[in-house]
Amino acid sequence: MQMNLKEIMAISGYPGLYRHISQGRNGIIVESLTDKKRMPAYASMKVSSLEDIAVFTDEGELPLKDLLKRLYEKESGGPALSSKSSPEEIKKYFEEVCPEFDRDKVYFSDMKKIISWYNLLQELKMLEFEEEEDVGT
């Protein structure tokens, strides 16, 4: 399955990730990636497409897709460190993958969430990155 972060949603206050299914009257209909249960996500809920999420860095912002790709490359496509690891382990791991992250704006909870999202997408085999062509070989 090709990774399309535009259709994958994070909903504030709800665990896990959701796939956009359709437009409802008062919001959108989403389906949990883990248990396939559908629910409405109302306009009043904070819903973010993973495509719109970025990590603050010293130079600006790093799109989530690029960070997921770094995790994927670091782990050769395998699972990342568990999001249930100790705060010290998670911070050290995140620093290895994204050494330029802004230490004032990126919180431990953000690191934990990104690692758990990566592991969920990896487990569901939804992490596919288009190979970039090598020019001039």
On the question of pLDDT at 136 being above 80, the answer is no
- Domains located in the chain, CATH noted: 5-49 (2.30.30.730), 53-123 (1.10.10.1650)
SS3 of 41, please? strand
Single out the residue of 36, 11, 28, 29 nearest to residue 124, CA to CA: 36
Residue with tokens 């389906």: 31
Confidence of residue 132 (pLDDT cuts 50, 70, 90): low
Look over the chain and give the mean of its residue pLDDT values, rounded to a whole number: 91
On the question of pLDDT at 64 being above 70, the answer is yes
SS3 of 23, please? strand
Query: Looking at residue 1, what is its pLDDT?
Result: 41
Write down the H helix ranges in 18-101. Answer: 64-74, 87-97
Does residue 16 contact residue 33 with C-beta atoms inside 8 Å?
yes
**Lowest-pLDDT range, 4-8, 25-29, 92-96, 131-135?**
131-135
Kindly report the pTM of this predicted structure: 0.88
Mean pLDDT calculated for residue range 6-26: 93
Does residue 31 contact residue 38 with C-beta atoms inside 8 Å?
yes
The dihedrals phi and psi of 113, each to the nearest 5 degrees, come to -65, -45
